[in-house]
C-alpha cells in the first residue's frame, strides 16, 4: 500500500492578496504617519484604496475591513500630524 502526497500549496478560500496588502500597508502607514506624515498619508491612501477594491471584489474578510480602517486611521493621523507641525513651526 503506497501513499501519495501532493506538493501543491494549500490555499485558503476567501483570502485575497489585496486584503493582505491593504492590511500591511495600513499598519505601516500608521507608523509612518506618526514619524513622516507625507509617507504615512500616501500609504494610508493606498491602503484604503486596496481595502475598498478587495471589499468590492467580494472578499468580505476581516483583513480587507481592517486594512480599510487602518488606511483611514493613517490618513487622519498624518493630516493631524501635518497640522500640528505647521502650527508649531510657524
Tens of pLDDT, residue by residue over 10-67, are: 545 555 889 999 999 999 999 999 999 999 999 999 999 999 999 888 767 789 999 9
Distances (CA, A) of 63 to 50, 60, 67, 86: 11, 8, 6, 34
Residue 6 lies in a domain: no
Range of the domain at 34: 17-89
Tally of domains within the chain: 1
Kindly tell me if the per-residue pLDDT of 9 is higher than 60: no
Q: Say if 56 falls within a structural domain.
A: yes
Q: What distance in Å separates the CA atoms of residue 17 and residue 11, rounded to the nearest whole number?
A: 12
34 vs 6: which has the higher pLDDT: 34
Q: Record the pTM.
A: 0.80
Cβ–Cβ under 8 Å, residues 60 and 15: no
Amino acid at each position: 500500500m503506497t501513499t501519495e502526497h501532493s506538493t501543491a500549496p494549500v490555499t485558503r478560500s476567501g483570502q485575497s492578496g489585496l486584503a493582505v496588502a491593504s492590511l500591511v500597508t495600513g499598519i505601516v502607514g500608521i507608523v509612518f504617519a506618526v514619524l513622516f506624515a507625507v509617507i504615512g498619508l500616501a500609504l494610508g491612501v493606498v491602503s484604503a484604496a486596496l481595502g475598498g477594491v478587495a471589499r468590492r471584489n467580494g472578499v468580505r474578510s476581516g483583513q480587507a475591513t481592517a486594512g480599510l480602517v487602518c488606511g483611514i486611521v493613517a490618513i487622519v493621523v498624518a493630516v493631524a500630524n501635518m497640522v500640528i507641525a505647521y502650527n508649531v513651526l510657524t
